Amino acid sequence: MDLVKKIEKVKEEIGKIMVGQREVIDLSLIAILSGGHVLLEGVPGLGKTMLVKTLARVLNISYNRIQFTPDLMPSDITGTNIIIPGKGEDFQFKKGPIFANLVLADEINRATPKTQSALLESMQEKKVTVFGTTYPLPQPFFVMATQNPLEMEGTYPLPEAQLDRFLFKIEVQYPPFEELREIVLRTTGSEEGQIQPVMGGDELIEFNKLAREVPVAEKVLDFAIKVVSATHKTTPFATDKVKKYVEVGASPRGIQSIILAAKVTALLDGRYNVSFADIEKVAIPALRHRLILNFEGIGDGVKADEIITDILNSVEKG
């Protein structure tokens, strides 16, 4: 369990830079240790970019930031072939910023869907293909994307296929009074927090392999499957809210995300078995971006979190 102790040290180091946002930090670490990608949503200025940069430093992995804008092209992400000077028609592949262990896709919904889709292969296959040649990405590989709420001007909704490739969607909330006070004191003074690297890429891969070995009892697994099945209005587990407001439920990636994240959660808690509480902890961030509401749900202002909470309260355990 030395790796588990290191995660506590990771949180301690992150706390030297980040104020509050404990749930956001915990869920981000669970996603990374699960080998998954994260979508962080919140208004500008809440520390989303700072969190990703800090994670890269503490975890001691390579890091690149891609600022998504309306004029960003797919080749600006993946890279392209360039002519070698003095070599006639010889070309050399110049790697794009996607070639890093941790990639920050900053304000991902500021770019057009065509450019957003350039991330699809890399997120799912962990490789990129340029002019028919495939290049593997560094391992481990994670994408942490930030997104402004869709009601803000100049944004493009992410395609459902891309949303489904994020293990978690984490909502970053505005800090309360005391945390806001601490943020001001830290960021307007003369001293900056100093953090030290704690882990490395090989240890992240090792932790992920260890987490996958954590067993899941049949009753706990069935509970998780029922929760995901309940997001589909045609199943016997669907709640009244699902039948009324949900157009499309979660894909099979939803249950995969829940189980893998629950295994990591159990391991971080010092247990080698998954509990019902682990499933409940990760269900909302794992499913909130996988539900597509119908027109009535959108019109009534229903949130995916409300529907998932209702499901968790309705589905029987055991």
Smallest CA-to-CA distance from 67 within 114, 112, 108 is with 108
C-alpha neighbours within 13 Å on the C-beta side of residue 64: 18
pTM of the model: 0.91
Contact call for residues 162 and 31 (beta carbons, < 8 A): no
Task: Give the pLDDT confidence of 3-25 residue by residue, as tens digits.
Answer: 788 888 998 898 888 888 889 99
Which phi and psi (to 5°) does residue 17 adopt? -105, -50
- CA 249, distance to chain mean position in Å, is 19
Residues 2-187, CATH architecture: 3-Layer(aba) Sandwich (3.40)
Please give the pLDDT value at position 59. 93
Please give the pLDDT value at position 147. 87
Do 2-187 and 214-314 fold alike per CATH?
A: no
Please give the pLDDT value at position 150. 64
Cβ atoms within 10 Å of 198's Cβ, excluding its own: 19
Domain at 214-314, CATH from 1.10.3470.10, 3.30.565.10, 3.40.50.12280, 1.10.8.80: 1.10.8.80
- Let me know if 250 is exposed, middle or buried by CB neighbors in 10 A (0-12, 13-18, 19+): buried
Average pLDDT of adjacent 10-residue blocks, the chain of 318 residues: 81 85 92 94 84 92 93 88 68 87 91 82 86 88 86 73 91 85 77 81 92 94 96 93 94 95 94 95 96 92 94 88
Please give the pLDDT value at position 88. 58
Task: Give the pLDDT confidence of 143-179 residue by residue, as tens digits.
Answer: 999 987 766 666 778 888 888 999 999 998 888 888 7
Structure tokens at 165: 């490739």
Please give the pLDDT value at position 222. 96
How far apart CA 57 and CA 63 sit, in angstroms, is 8
Phi-psi region of 126 (alpha: psi -120 to 50; beta: other; left: phi over 0): left
How far apart CA 218 and CA 220 sit, in angstroms, is 5
Domain ranges, ordered by start, for the chain = 2-187, 214-314
Contacts of 59 (CB under 8 A, 6+ apart): 10, 32, 102, 197, 198, 199, 200, 201, 204
Please give the pLDDT value at position 317. 82
